[in-house]
Amino acid sequence: MRSADTHSQSPADIVFSGGPIMTMDAAGSRPEAVAVRAGRLVAVGSLDEVNALVGNNTEQVDLEGRTLLPGLIDPHMHSAMVQLADWVDVSPMATPTADAVYTALRDATATSTGWVLAQQFDPSITEGHPRLDRETLDRLVPDRPLLVLESNGHIAWVNSAALHRAGVDRDTPDPPAGRYSRDARGELTGRLEESPAVRAFTIGFPLVTGDALVGRIRDLLWSAAGKGATLLHDCGIGSIDGVTDLDGLRRAVDGDSPVRYRGMLVSSEYDAWAQLSLRPGFGDDRFRVDGIKAWSDGSNQAGTGFQREPYLGTDSCGSLNYSPDELAEVVLRAHRDGWQIGVHANGDAAIDVTIDAYERALTEAPRDDHRHRIEHCSMLHPEQIARMAALGLSPSFLIGHVRWWGTAFRDRLLGPERSALYDPCASALRAGLRISLHSDWNVTPLEPLRYVEDAVTRAMAENGEVLNADERINVEAALRAVTIDAAWQCRADDVTGSIEVGKYADLVLLESNPATIDPMTISGIAVSETRLAGEVRYSR
């Protein structure tokens, strides 16, 4: 039996036994029982050994055949998206056809500011592939300013009234790292690319703040606990309202939070973070900031991910948000200051530029255990995997791309050869990379068991076919990517991510064993309980 050295024979507060226990430790241990004292795991071993720690007041949890796992982790999500909760939903799920999208926008009620605001639009997978150019939006909403945000978070569409309200016309220069799309005549199309372009329109929007913001974030945290999550990692703290975003998160996580929270601060506010004297590791085991986040390009499904070759049927390769030198300077500055770094890169050319930036930083300022990440890392070639391995980089894959957009990438956007490079989990693992799987919430739902299913099956929702079967991984590897390997990427593996003595008792009880059921049903496994430091935070 593995047990804590201090007071190892004192009675445990909780003992779990009676079902499969998947520790996710390096050895893949399968103990019969585990014990918890003061929120920490104090024994992992045989039933007889652990039962020796049972006292008069020990809570004895009979798993009754349920499976015990370390709590699940989403290593890349965005709390800032709670700001959009009351915007009109024009997602493919809520408005599955072009006509439904148009009707929802036409019938939408304006906010108190007079704007009509909509979110989650995705023409790449909505039936009929609706177009939302300026002329179309003017017909739908002619007399009120209208802004429609795509689900990828990188593209928005506005009508003429919105352009007028924001004071943007054909002579307005593009903002740094953003673009106002224009047609061949130089006229604005209504398409806004990247946050700096959108920000000209959202300035003055009434943001949710104070107790209302804290309430929305807490709702998100409790929802995540209901999906088996005990740790969330925010890859964009400060993206909406700078320092205020950080303050709201800290308030939401203080006290009664059902999950731990880690995150990366947006690089665009670096000077503000420096003025606050924030340093890597700011916070505690409940809430900690360890990283800086930058964006190299946009979204492949929106055509703004930066590619080596043009998108199908176009002469466009997408765009970088920074020049290669600018990105390298951002990375080098944060790296020298000791931060972990995550760079968003979807297109293969953007991944090239991102690896180059990391290589420069690590050459000029070598550093051990940096754990630098490439976020999404979507279209990944074998030689890029080799470079990442040599530099100690790791990818976090938005595996939902395969499920919801796989057919669109294969048949309409990239073609079979390039789409086969999407989220190459098996190739990355063979090369020795530690991978994680994430939602990019609210781009896809926050549900870690679904990420596991997607990585194991690679089944595409649009037609049920498999996208590059060679990149499927086994259930154990996929579970590691939402437990211990995700914890490692989030610099939290010292306290959570596996069932090992000394770590917090952050645990999830599942009604079925993911390793023994039909892989196509993993996402449907019911969460029986979620515990944080041994305390029940969700129960069916």
Q: Token digits for 385? A: 């995997």
CA atoms of 310 and 316, how far apart (whole Å): 5
Q: Give the global pTM.
A: 0.94
Residue with tokens 């309430």: 215
Contact 436, 482 (CB under 8 A): yes
Q: Give Dmax (Cα) for the chain.
A: 81
CA atoms of 448 and 455, how far apart (whole Å): 11
Contact 467, 410 (CB under 8 A): yes
Q: Which residues pair with 529 in a beta bridge?
A: 509, 539
Q: Token digits for 194? A: 């990247």
Q: What is the pLDDT of residue 6?
A: 39
Single out the residue of 380, 423, 428 nearest to residue 403, CA to CA: 423
Contact 348, 310 (CB under 8 A): no
Check residue 229 and report its DSSP letter: E
**Which residues touch 253 (CB under 8 Å, ≥6 apart)?**
221, 261, 286, 287
Fold designation for 112-202:
Diaminopimelate Epimerase; Chain A, domain 1 (3.10.310)
Q: Is 337 helix (H, G, I), strand (E, B) or coil?
A: coil
Q: What is the pLDDT of residue 8?
A: 53
CA atoms of 162 and 144, how far apart (whole Å): 7
Q: What secondary structure, in 3-state letters, does 130-153 show?
A: CCCCHHHHHHHCCCCCEEEEECCC
Q: Looking at the chain, how many residues does it have? A: 540
DSSP string, 481-516: TTTHHHHHHTT-TTTSSS--TTSB--EEEESS-TTT
Q: Digits of tens for pLDDT over the chain (540 positions)?
A: 776 643 457 999 999 999 999 999 999 999 999 999 999 999 999 999 999 999 999 999 999 999 999 999 999 999 999 999 999 999 998 999 999 999 999 999 887 778 999 999 999 999 999 989 999 999 999 999 999 999 998 999 999 999 999 999 999 999 998 999 999 999 999 999 998 999 888 887 778 888 999 999 999 999 999 999 999 999 999 988 888 889 999 999 987 899 999 999 999 999 999 999 999 999 999 999 999 999 999 999 999 999 999 999 999 999 999 999 999 999 999 999 999 999 999 999 999 999 999 999 999 999 999 999 999 999 999 999 999 999 999 999 999 999 999 999 999 999 999 999 999 999 999 999 999 999 999 999 999 999 999 999 999 999 999 999 999 999 999 999 999 999 999 999 999 999 999 999 999 999 999 999 999 999 999 999 999 999 999 999
Contact 179, 196 (CB under 8 A): no
Residue with tokens 């507060």: 13
Dihedral angle at the C-alpha atoms of 408, 413, 417, 418, nearest 10 degrees?
A: -100
Type and span of the H or E element at 98:
helix 98-106
Q: What is the pLDDT of residue 7?
A: 47
- Parse the chain into domains and list their residue ranges: 112-202
Task: For CA atoms 138, 140, 141, 147, give the dihedral sign.
Answer: negative
Q: Report which residue type is found at 83.
A: Q
Q: What is the pLDDT of residues 115-126, one digit of tens each?
A: 999 999 999 999
Q: From residue 524, how far is each of 117, 466, 512, 540 by CA, in Å?
A: 33, 19, 9, 14
